[in-house]
Structure 1
């Protein structure tokens, strides 16, 4: 049915209405909500504002097509749109439109590690990003949790602005973000434990890392300290967990093109079942 009160609906509700193809109101509201942030990101990838506008328009068009086909984002439109912006820019880099991309983007693309000739630019990016345990853990979260972390931590938007996007009151944003942070820590530890380079000893001590980060004043574990002194993999995990706890925004943004926000999941990828 037509959506007359689009402004008061969450992104997830607007997405559901959008799939019904009953009105243009959801499209207009989602565009209004996210255009400014997506355009700001696109400008980092392009040489001029007009090209950035083209990039944003194409990103919205592709995202709308994905949603109407049953894929695309549910509750986290902004990080998804930024993903599509960068994916399009990578596509342009292999065409005559490369001249329209910014020097920063070209520098970032040119300095990616060498890969087999048969691997395309987007495949290379996906492979490189999959090496980041932090990002793998983030992508494993329910999309609602991804959304609240992205908007509150990476974008640093106030609860009064984030609440309507998620269909909760401003007072509920903090509680949701807290659960999402804890979920991210757990997901990180799980991803760390599943890493091929992790030994049985690492798995044993890895379960203690979360407690060390959460309770900085707790009594030191001498066995854990001894293991950390010898294991670079677990030391790196502890640094990542500290970043998740103290500098989550920079941890999620690290390694992205032009210093902008990192890709969070593949467009049209499978979404985990939501936890509340």
Structure 2
């Protein structure tokens, strides 16, 4: 399936992220990404769709450099981050906010302490693990973390342990932690997969609000096609490691969805009418 591109051309707007001919080949010999190229501007709220194994998660993990690409380039605000390592790699990961399906919070820490972890990019020295984060961060960082919690609607839970929260509340903490990073771009890998429909809508609403109010581009992997139509400004369709669709959600009709998901894919076909 040849790539179908219908994304509007941006004028006078430098890309926040630019991906050029990205390839990722695992030691097993599996090629998860095959020459993927696209640009992301501050105006983009992108949803990435495709079968399990299409390369969606690999793509996000390359963008925040949890994985090193085999070849190709990733530019973050014009800086090539494809092969950075050491301290430079840590700085890149702190500039790229990442939200995971399983939240990745520290269960025994408070909500506030988990959010303060997002301020580590602004610290000049390593943080001792034996101390409470809330006791070693300056007042301005504490105040910033509380504001981030207020933005996601859970400032009243600041001193509650993370492992006492519901799934939806934990994902809000994860979003607040990303806000505390002051990232250049936000990536979210199946952020609503383990949530009930009401919590899932709340999380997606938050991501959209952050994008619209702060001008931060967002890229989200989703399987729920009804949510894709509701929230995506732009869609990237992945198939067998290749980018096969790049365009607005308004053009994503049932026939095109079926072509993107064709092959060995356990897609919930009952959701297809939502894209018709």
Which structure is richer in relative contact order (CA contacts within 8 A, separation 6 or more)?
Answer: 2
The structure with the largest strand share of the pair is: 2
Q: TM-score, normalised by structure 2?
A: 0.27
Greater fraction of residues in helix: 1
Larger radius of gyration: 1
Normalised by the length of structure 1, the TM-score is 0.27
